[in-house]
Amino acid sequence: MNKILLILFCSLFTNSFAQTLQSEKNYIHLYTDSIVYGEKLSYNTGFMVDPHIKLDGTKYKLDEVKFYKTNWAEKANIKLINGDKSKFVPKLIDGNLNLYAKETKRLNSAYSKKTKTFYINKGNSNISKVTYKNLKEAINDNSNCVPILEAYKKVERGNRIVNTTAASLLAIGVALITYHPKYKRLQPYVIGTLFNTSGVLPMALTPTILISYLYRINIRQKKSKLIQEAVNTYND
């Protein structure tokens, strides 16, 4: 009897150990919900190369792959959000609610900036871009997340109000100066200086643009912090 119990215990331990080893391997999760494990995984793109993921010598088109995992990263395909163009974003937080982020760097003649777009999912479901609505749906069953959700809602509301107000004031100001009969004698000057960097109008608009830019940075930072705080709180 003891020998039988020992054999059963060893068998269960071996199976458990084998499953653990398998879970640590590289794998790809296809949109068919099949999971393929392997030892060597590579992401292949470049000039004259049809983009694909290769796992132990077998090629998979990017459009076939929903998630993939290597020893150093786990990524999800955002093709269903990205206009059917496959692009993979890394997982930042792993748990009951997963968080992914895509970082975009934009350059122009005046400045450079980095922005993050966040995505969430549960389990192996399709990921979705974070909005107040789907974040609420994902975490609303956890009472500890409610205050964070309310703070996120206020930040979004404030952002909309400021953007709308600033755009309206700017449009009204330009329209009055450009078209109102009272300012008729100024109109040629205004039109002539709209695209002249040494003109009065661009100089007047510069503080508005700068304040708007700094405010947007502040909003992005607040939203980023609140999203990550909400996901971490939900997973605790």
C-alpha separations of 44 from 80, 81, 119, 182 in Å: 21, 22, 24, 64
Contact 124, 67 (CB under 8 A): yes
The predicted structure's pLDDT at residue 21:
34
Residue 49 has pLDDT above 70, yes or no: yes
Tell me, what's the pLDDT at 9? Answer: 45
pLDDT score, position 191: 52
Mean pLDDT, range 97-118, rounded to an integer: 75
Would the CA dihedral through 34, 40, 44, 49 be positive or negative? negative
Q: Look up the domain containing 186 and give its range.
A: 131-236
Residues 105-129 have a mean pLDDT of 78
Q: Are 39 and 25 in contact (CB under 8 A)?
A: yes
Q: Which two tokens stand for residue 100?
A: 């992914």
Q: Is residue 4, in this structure, part of any structural domain at all?
A: no
Does the pLDDT at position 134 exceed 90? yes
101 within domain boundaries: no
Structure tokens at 176: 């009055």
E strand or H helix that includes residue 11: helix 2-24
pLDDT confidence bin for 68, thresholds 50/70/90 = very high
Mean pLDDT for the stretch of residues 93-115 = 77
Whether residue 48 is contained in a domain is answered as no
pLDDT digits (tens, 9 = 90+) for 157-213: 766 655 665 555 556 555 555 555 555 555 555 555 554 544 445 555 555 556 666
Max avg pLDDT among 52-66, 81-95, 148-162, 196-210:
52-66
> How does the average pLDDT of the chain come out, rounded?
76
Is residue 14 a part of any domain in this protein?
A: no
Model pLDDT, residue 11: 43
pLDDT, position 14: 33
Is there a domain that residue 82 lies in? no
Please check whether residue 115 lies inside any domain of the structure.
Answer: no
Is 46 among the domain residues?
A: no
pLDDT of 145 over the 50 cut: yes
187-200: b or e for each residue (b if 16 or more CB lie within 10 Å)? eeebeebeeeeeee
Per the structure, how many domains does the chain have?
Answer: 1
pLDDT the model gives residue 93: 95
Domain assignment present for residue 141? The answer is yes
